[in-house]
């Protein structure tokens, strides 16, 4: 039904509200965290496969259905054809589609009794992923990242930003620097079944610039801390403040805003800690995460309507994604 006189901004807000009603990570109640459908997007590279154990462990913890997707892009198909022979492109597509489907099915066979679905699509990456997210009511999207500040072959440049800007569900990224107890073992192709991996979160770091739209991402961090009985740290970094000793106002204001992000009805095992730092946002986030041995970093991402008032700048988010020693959960505001 069309709404006469409704602006694109209003329609965008209505869509967000509709998804908030069905997305388990964002509800008004703190009685439990529902993650019913998880989407693992892969290009079958080692970078992508490193993220698969995390998608599997999330599904095992929550009893979720695992959706696995591979997108065949025109650029990739042209590279397979040498970029010249357009006549054979149709045949190459059919072969690539069959091969991708077989690879996904081989992974699926190793999941035991875990509910799963395989999706092979052709076209623009985000457009196809968005359709899968919408149709299957995906609660979490899981991808692997490389160390150059962006994503792997599947998610390059503007595609990565499209996903973080427009995904209504949170996005869990696993980068090459993930290490220590949070690094889940790679999958052994010699065994028919995937070894059970428990999802364990002891320390969660939530980083924000305390923007008015930080409520959704903060709520996701609080709900995760509640679900896993984890310790939660809320971090705010002031980048442009040269003399913190002489003017305590912004410091007190920052700590107050962090406190306001914790709902009164949140039942946490440990009292959340608030931390204020000065300087580079990305460097401070990474340092605090390392010092606290964080198992997960939660970041708030800019919405399509927040061009001038973001959570954290995209440059900050990309730097954290590429260099974090633990997975990063990005939640669109």
Give the pLDDT of residue 5: 35
- Is residue 9, in this structure, part of any structural domain at all? no
pLDDT value at position 308?
A: 44
Q: Are 161 and 57 within one domain?
A: yes
- Residue 16 counted as domain residue: no
Give the residue numbers spanning the domain of 248.
201-333
| Cα atoms found within 13 Å of the Cα of residue 332, Cβ hemisphere only | 24
* Token couple for 24: 């388990």
Within a domain: 252: yes
| 184 plus 205 within the same structural domain | no
Q: What is the pLDDT of residue 140?
A: 96
CATH code assigned at 242: 3.40.50.620
Question: Do the bridges between strand 231-238 and strand 65-72 make them parallel or antiparallel, or are there none, so unpaired?
Answer: unpaired
| Judgement on whether residues 97 and 175 belong to the same structural domain of the protein | yes
Q: What is d(CA 37, CA 133) in angstroms, rounded to the nearest whole number?
A: 9
Determine the pLDDT at residue 188: 55
Give a yes or no: residue 7 inside a domain: no
Domain count of the chain? 2
| Residue 2 covered by a domain | no
Amino acid 189: pLDDT: 56
Is 217 inside a domain boundary? Answer: yes
Quick one: 221 and 161 in the same domain?
no
Q: Are residues 323 and 218 in the same domain?
A: yes
Q: Are residues 134 and 52 in the same domain?
A: yes
Q: Is residue 11 domain-resident?
A: no
Same domain (yes/no): 185, 206: no
Tell me the pLDDT tens digit for each residue of 169-182.
999 999 888 988 88
Q: What is the pLDDT of residue 213?
A: 64
Q: Which residues of the chain are modeled with pLDDT < 70?
A: 1-32, 75-90, 147-161, 187-196, 210-213, 241-249, 302-311, 333
Round to whole Å and give the CA distance between 108 and 114. 9
Mark whether 173 and 220 lie in a shared domain.
Answer: no
User: Quick one: pLDDT at residue 41?
Assistant: 92
Q: Where are the alpha helices (DSSP H) in the chain?
A: 8-22, 46-49, 52-62, 74-80, 89-109, 125-136, 158-166, 215-227, 249-260, 281-291, 314-323
- In this structure, the answer to whether residues 243 and 151 fall within a common structural domain is no
Rounded distance between C-alpha atoms, residue 297 and residue 320, angstroms: 9
- pLDDT of 160 reads 65
pLDDT of residue 133: 95
Q: Is residue 20 part of a domain?
A: no
Residues 162, 251, single domain; the answer is no
């Amino acid at each position: 039904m069309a709404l006469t006189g409704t602006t694109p901004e209003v329609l965008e807000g209505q869509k967000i509200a509709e998804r908030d009603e069905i997305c388990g990570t964002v509800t008004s109640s703190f009685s439990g965290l529902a993650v019913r459908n998880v989407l693992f997007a892969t290009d079958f590279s080692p970078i992508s496969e490193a993220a698969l154990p995390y998608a599997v462990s999330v599904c095992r913890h929550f009893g979720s259905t695992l959706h696995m997707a591979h997108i065949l892009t025109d650029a990739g198909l042209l590279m397979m054809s040498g970029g010249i022979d357009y006549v054979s492109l149709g045949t190459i597509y059919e072969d690539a589609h069959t091969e991708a489907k077989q690879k996904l099915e081989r992974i699926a066979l190793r999941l035991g009794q875990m509910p799963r679905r395989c999706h092979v699509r052709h076209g623009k990456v985000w457009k196809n992923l968005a359709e899968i997210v919408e149709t299957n009511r995906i609660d979490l999207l899981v991808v692997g990242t490389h160390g150059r500040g962006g994503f792997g072959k599947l998610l390059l440049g503007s595609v990565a930003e499209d996903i973080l800007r427009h995904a209504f569900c949170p996005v869990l990224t696993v980068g090459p620097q993930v290490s220590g107890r949070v690094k889940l073992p790679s999958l052994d192709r010699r065994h028919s079944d995937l070894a059970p991996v428990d999802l364990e979160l002891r320390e969660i770091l939530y980083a924000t610039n305390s923007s008015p739209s930080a409520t959704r991402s903060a709520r996701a961090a609080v709900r995760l801390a509640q679900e896993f009985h984890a310790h939660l740290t809320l971090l705010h970094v002031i980048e442009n403040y040269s003399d913190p000793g002489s003017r305590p106002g912004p410091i007190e204001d920052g700590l107050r805003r962090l406190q306001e992000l914790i709902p009164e009805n949140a039942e946490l095992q440990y009292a959340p800690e608030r931390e204020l730092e000065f300087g580079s946002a990305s460097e401070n986030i990474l340092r605090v995460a390392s010092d606290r041995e964080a198992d997960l970093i939660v970041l708030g991402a800019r919405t399509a309507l927040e061009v001038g008032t973001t959570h954290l700048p995209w440059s900050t988010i990309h730097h954290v994604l590429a260099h974090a020693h633990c997975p990063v959960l990005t939640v669109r505001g």
